[in-house]
């Protein structure tokens, strides 16, 4: 098929690679170069870099406005494919390809419609993660679903790791759906169940609340790592929590109830922070204004009677 592909982050790159070997990619639409790093160097998106590597035509557009719509429509695509482009497809572009546009979304729709499905699913402690390919309609992530797949994700995976796994598996799911559309055998079904919304996370979503049970604290840590980042405060100073997990006997963990919520102590390999149930083992942190370091190195420099209070 003659396709137009729209995507921006690294999570979209596996799908572009999978489709490029099977179909005619008339153009790759991605967001413009963005300033990255301390020197704010303008850098192409991960999808743009893959498109350049594959020798594919690139359209860089901050949004799918009239200009972008005209350029895409002139290519006469049979199908539009979008994966995390970062902008909405509206009419008349929505109806320009013969088969419209389809989207790879990293959730089991109608669960977690919106910008941050993987992060929100992890924070909520969902037992299953997955990917869906659906027909784009004007309503957000509400179109009929061609295919859906549950994906195995390790129980300790943070959002970036989980998204990487889903991106690879979802690329194959998308390739299968496009093949079915090309062959005239694709069938889409209305979404079933009560929708939930996955709004984009803000910085405050990363605050760890130590008076919550361990499962909730750890789920939030996983969901906000690496962005917007897990954090707490000590004596009014913010501390980023970069790596954490369950406290184990091998770490010298105390029994549940030995540490009150927010109370901290150190073992040989970790700093233990009390929750409403068992403690969380923190292994890597970044104090305000300093470089990342091991949690035990950080703890040596603070008072042993400090109590952590998220948001204080």
- In this predicted structure, the answer to whether residue 311 has a pLDDT above a threshold of 60 is no
Residue 267 three-state SS: coil
State the distance between the two ends of the chain, measured CA to CA, in whole angstroms.
56
- In this predicted structure, the answer to whether residue 267 has a pLDDT above a threshold of 90 is no
- Does residue 306 belong to any structural domain of this protein? no
Last residue of a domain, one of 198, 225, 251: 198
- In this predicted structure, the answer to whether residue 255 has a pLDDT above a threshold of 70 is no
- Does residue 307 belong to any structural domain of this protein? no
* Residue 303's pLDDT band (cuts 50, 70, 90): low
Identify whether residues 160 and 234 lie together within a single domain.
no
- Does residue 116 belong to any structural domain of this protein? yes
Of the candidates 170, 131, 149, 185, the residue with the CA atom closest to the CA atom of residue 16: 170
- In this predicted structure, the answer to whether residue 154 has a pLDDT above a threshold of 70 is yes
Identify whether residues 68 and 184 lie together within a single domain.
yes
Identify whether residues 162 and 63 lie together within a single domain.
yes
Helix (H) or strand (E) holding 119: helix 117-123
Identify whether residues 271 and 147 lie together within a single domain.
no
- Does residue 148 belong to any structural domain of this protein? yes
Identify whether residues 161 and 59 lie together within a single domain.
yes
- In this predicted structure, the answer to whether residue 250 has a pLDDT above a threshold of 50 is no
Cα separation, 80 vs 72, whole angstroms: 9
Last residue of a domain, one of 198, 227, 256: 198
Structure-block tokens of residue 32: 């413009």
Range(s) of the domain holding residue 207: 203-300
- Does residue 308 belong to any structural domain of this protein? no
The pLDDT value given to residue 305: 60
- Does residue 34 belong to any structural domain of this protein? yes
CATH of the domain at 250: 3.10.25.10
Residues 20-45 have pLDDT tens digits of: 989 999 999 999 988 887 778 889 99
How many domains, in total, are found in the chain?
2
Identify whether residues 166 and 276 lie together within a single domain.
no
CB 166 within 8 A of CB 157: no
- Does residue 311 belong to any structural domain of this protein? no
Identify whether residues 179 and 43 lie together within a single domain.
yes
Identify whether residues 190 and 246 lie together within a single domain.
no
- In this predicted structure, the answer to whether residue 159 has a pLDDT above a threshold of 70 is yes
CB 212 within 8 A of CB 310: no
Residue 92 three-state SS: coil
- In this predicted structure, the answer to whether residue 252 has a pLDDT above a threshold of 80 is no
Identify whether residues 70 and 184 lie together within a single domain.
yes
Identify whether residues 7 and 119 lie together within a single domain.
yes
Q: What would the mean pLDDT of 141-168 be, rounded to a whole number?
A: 96
Model's pTM, two decimal places?
A: 0.92
């Amino acid at each position: 098929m003659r396709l137009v592909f729209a995507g921006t982050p690294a999570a979209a790159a596996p799908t572009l690679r999978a489709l490029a070997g099977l179909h005619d990619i008339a153009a790759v639409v991605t967001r413009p170069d963005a300033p990255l790093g301390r020197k704010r160097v303008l850098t192409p998106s991960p999808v743009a870099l893959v498109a350049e590597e594959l020798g594919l035509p690139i359209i860089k557009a901050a949004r799918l406005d009239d200009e972008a719509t005209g350029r895409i429509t002139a290519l006469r695509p049979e199908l539009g494919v979008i994966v995390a482009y970062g902008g909405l497809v509206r009419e008349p572009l929505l109806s320009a390809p013969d088969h419209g546009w389809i989207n790879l979304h990293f959730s089991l729709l109608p669960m977690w419609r919106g910008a941050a499905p993987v992060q929100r699913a992890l924070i909520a402690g969902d037992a299953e993660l997955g990917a869906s390919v659906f027909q784009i309609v004007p309503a957000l992530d509400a179109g009929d679903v061609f295919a859906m797949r549950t994906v195995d994700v390790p129980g300790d995976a943070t959002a970036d790791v989980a998204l990487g796994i889903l991106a690879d598996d979802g690329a194959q799911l998308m390739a299968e759906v496009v093949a079915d559309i090309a062959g005239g055998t694709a069938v889409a079904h209305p979404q079933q169940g009560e929708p939930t919304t996955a709004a984009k996370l803000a910085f405050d979503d990363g605050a760890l609340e130590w008076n919550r049970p361990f499962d909730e604290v750890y789920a939030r840590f996983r969901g906000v790592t690496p962005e917007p980042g897990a954090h707490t405060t000590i004596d009014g100073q913010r501390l980023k929590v970069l790596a954490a997990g369950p406290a184990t006997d091998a770490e010298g963990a105390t029994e549940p109830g030995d540490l009150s919520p927010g109370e901290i102590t150190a073992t040989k390999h970790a700093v233990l922070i009390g929750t409403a149930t068992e403690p969380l083992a923190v292994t890597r942190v970044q104090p305000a204004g300093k470089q990342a370091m091991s949690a035990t190195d950080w703890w040596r420099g603070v008072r042993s009677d400090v109590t952590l209070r998220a948001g204080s």
